[in-house]
Amino acid sequence: MIGEVALANEPSEQGNERDTLTGMLDYYRSVLLRKAVGLTQTELATRLAPSTLTLGGLLKHAAFVEDHWFNDVWAGRRPVEPWASVDWSTTPDWDFDSAQDDTPEALQQLFEASVTRSRAAIADDLDLDRLARGNHRRGAINVRWILVHMIEEYARHCGHADLLRECIDGRTGQ
């Protein structure tokens, strides 16, 4: 099971732009992980028909998008495992679908390792206008866009996680 996870504080209402963006992203990261606290592998694989979305799938997907945006696109590095060996053209939802085979502990470790790499990738880049080193179909993008996109990604998926968790055991709230 995923153990207790501290809820990150929302960023200060008087913070600078970078601190506000990274603080909000950290807040949503902690919300998503907290939605999975105490659940078994079976519960993390629970679906609400007709959707195939699961809490485990959301955690693994979040780990993937962390690595994709901060490691691959921002830092311009080659994909890391487990993403590097996935044939995305034949299994485009591999991150979501394969999570049912992962233990809660493995999902937490994967997620936390991806977040750690993401934080390290932008730790020394204080200029939000700096352009990403990697290639992306959108063309040149800056770290500000990536941070805002990741906040949007987490906000949307935290809403999904709210519904899934409530249906699993009735638990609501952050």
Q: 174 is written with which tokens?
A: 């952050």
Q: Domain residues for 79?
A: 17-169
pTM for the predicted model, two decimal places: 0.94
Q: What is the C-alpha R_g of the chain?
A: 16
Q: Is the residue at 12 inside a domain?
A: no
- The answer to whether 111 and 63 have CB atoms below 8 angstroms apart is yes
pLDDT in tens, the chain (174 residues): 787 777 777 888 888 999 999 999 999 999 999 999 999 999 999 998 899 999 999 999 999 999 999 999 999 999 999 999 999 999 999 999 999 999 999 999 999 999 999 999 999 877 999 999 987 787 889 999 999 999 999 999 999 999 999 999 998 877
Place of tokens 């609501």: 172
Number of domains in the chain: 1
CATH at residue 115: 1.20.120.450
CA angle 22, 59, 9 (to 5 degrees): 35
Structure tokens, 160: 């999904």
